[in-house]
């Protein structure tokens, strides 16, 4: 029987680990990670970005997910959600490495 996943990122163990660890980070680290993830929007179509803004308006501060309380993090996670699996995996690996080194600020430098 195939395993069913509750959340969109549960089917990729690296992405799942990255987001679960991100949830535990300090606010400053979350901000740096959100900025990095938002930079992925260059790889996402404009109509998808408009949909993300609609979702952000709808759920910001109202949802039950850990990232719903922060509109910037909500936007970042939604961008990650609609990115290609390859982009999600690359972002997750970069996030994990930065969190392991306790240096999320380096994400901004590496992405320019």
> And the tokens for 8?
């969109």
Helical H segments across 1-112, by residue range: 13-23, 27-38, 46-59, 71-82, 85-100, 106-111
pLDDT of 43 above 80? no
9: how many CB neighbours lie within 10 A of its CB?
20
Cβ atoms of residues 83 and 18 within 8 Å:
no
What does pTM read for this prediction?
0.69
> And the tokens for 20?
């679960």
Q: What is the pLDDT of residues 44-64, one digit of tens each?
A: 777 777 777 777 777 777 778
């Amino acid at each position: 029987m195939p395993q069913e996943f509750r959340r969109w990122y549960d089917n990729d163990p690296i992405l799942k680990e990255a987001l679960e660890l991100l949830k535990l980070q300090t606010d400053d680290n979350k901000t740096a990670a959100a900025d990095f993830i938002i930079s992925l929007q260059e790889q996402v179509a404009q109509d998808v970005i408009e949909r993300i803004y609609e979702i952000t308006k709808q759920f910001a501060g109202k949802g039950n997910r850990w990232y719903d309380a922060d509109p910037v993090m909500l936007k970042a996670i939604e961008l990650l959600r609609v990115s290609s699996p390859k982009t999600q995996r690359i972002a997750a690996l970069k996030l994990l490495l930065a969190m392991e080194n306790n240096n999320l600020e380096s994400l901004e430098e590496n992405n320019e």
